Structure 1
Amino acid sequence: MRQTILAVLSLSTLAVLLTGCGGDMVLLNSKGPVAAGQSDLMMKAIGLMLLVVIPSIIMALWFGWKYRASNKDADYEPTWTHSTTIEVVVWGVPVIIIGILAWLTWWGSHKYDPYRPIDSDKAPVNVQVVAEAYKWIFIYPNEQIATVNEMRFPEKTPVSLRLTSNFTMNSFFIPQLAGQIYAMAGMQTHLNIMADSTGEFRGFSSNYSGYGFSQMRFKAYSMTEADYQAWVAAVKANEGTKVNPAAIQKGLLDQTEFASLRDGHRAKVQIEHIVARAVTPEEKAEAAKIAAEGTYPTKPHPVTYYSSVEPKLFESVINRYMSNYHGADDHATDTHANVEHAKASAEE
């Protein structure tokens, strides 16, 4: 019994430490209708499951105490084989709980579908998100501005996000506003969020994507409508640093500038390994070329503002990976066939 008590106390202490007692339990500290609904759904599911877990733990402790070797008053029934009451409880209660969880899952999947627009009398702010190595790029197509590692939007206003990736798969996550959504090369996903009040929210990638993964962090700011419009105007006027002095203000975000945002292709330890293994002149030349490309970052990319954006830059990132599926191969085949047909006609 003593060992059981110690085990229970140890698990309780561990649970308190894992939940960050006294800290900010960000997943349960929702600041928007989507995250609040998801948190409520999660707590309902946990509560339903505890209807089985808690009685099971209590009965396990109680049975161990009642039928201990020193208790001579406990009933001893070696021929006992069946109890209809127990069968109904151990099968009926879980079936009912699973049925309720199934309904909650179906309802929640539709209610909090990331593609579903948020009901509001305000028009949504459209933001295009690109996962780059290793940073987040936010393009505002209506305002014709862009940012790196920072997103701003007005409070109590829906924000419609369209996401893609310019390298490997990543997961976009602002825990206090909504669940995570994947960003994948050549594809487009959607996420709708809204903040109930002004504030600063932590965003990051929750999907490991390489050595620089830990640097894929950004800040999301919910602002008043007036402050948001003032920020947009400042960025468009190349004066974004008046709002955020730590940021870097630049001009046009075009294909050339976009390409320059890509960090090195390998981690420092990888480059050192390649250089150390290079023996032949060819290998050494290739190693030097790789070393010149630079390494992955060891700290997040500084917040950067762009006063204008090349039209359809977001779409070009998607098409870069999907050109073959958009008819590029068929177009090349048709062109080749037309050339061959023209040659044949000329020979005739």
Structure 2
Amino acid sequence: MSSGPLRIGVIGCADIAWRRTLPALAGHPDVRVTALASRDPERARRFAERFGGEPVTGYEALLDRADLDAVYVPLPAKLHARWVERALLSDRHVLAEKPLTASAEETETLVGLAASRGLALLENFMFLCHSQHARVSDLVAQGAIGELRTLTAAFAFPPPADGHNIYKPDVGGGVLTDAGVYPLRAAQFHLGPGLQVLGAHMNVDERRGVDVAGTALLVAPGGQTAHLTWGAERSYRSRYELWGSTGRIEVPWAFTPPAAHRPVIRIERQDHVEELTLPAQDHFAAAVDAFVARVRDGVPSVLEGEAVLSHARLVDQVRRRALAPGGGPDEVDPDGRERPMASTNGGSRGKK
């Protein structure tokens, strides 16, 4: 690796890259955007004009370059496994947009490959890098709401344009992997590993062949529960709440706060309400900081390793429970893999 800035190539000129992640990469003092690849030469050129670097036609051509230390992958979900694997095999560190892959099996393969080659592989769940969530964890640990009992979380938004990837099953569309993963990841962050899926439901748009809304009920090994809701084609909502034995904590703008937003954490007890206003923070920039620190100094990140594997397995559990009526709740084996339990508490498949 070069001793100068981290040289990054971009595989795929996606909207999220244009709006949020590439501004954070290009603005980092220890990163240089070196090349940007698209199957459309004009699109690659337009991205390069804004963020620097050389436009490249085709993803393989980018990986053939000798001047890259790392790769950022913002492709559609079903293309991630192929190109993340190729990037790792070319000995590049990888930052990939969520979901890392379309299945737990593919995720396990890639995480193992990265570990075997001594490479960083981070899944860009940028909201986890925002300081408001660590502050909430500290408050819970300090007993601000007594013993934690329940987490509720919701992430939903109005319908995107008809041609959006969320409506394209061939590239891994569906709202579970676009929005549902945020409440699921929040539940893991606050309730820890070993979550079981007691029930799940997804509304499926039969015409498009994708899920457009969902809900899940989880239980942690300690008995805490999580009730999660997500969806497209509804009013915007991005929040979670932790409910304890003596109070509750609300995070009103949990998953997509703008960089200039000063987050507010609301603490409510029976005879007292308090609101903490935190400094503004760009969580995309914080995720880039985490990636650079992992590559340069080996600093561990919540965006990699076992946390990524556990999340992928949980998403698979939710999907299976929602689309297979009659299946029992899932129990997690000691190695982290799930196994079905005998029960009649089934999920269901809904029609839009």
TM over 0.5: no
TM-score bracket for the superposition, by shorter chain length:
under 0.3
- Is the helix fraction higher in 1 or 2? 1
Greater share of strand residues, 1 or 2?
2
Give 1 or 2 for the bigger CA radius of gyration. 1
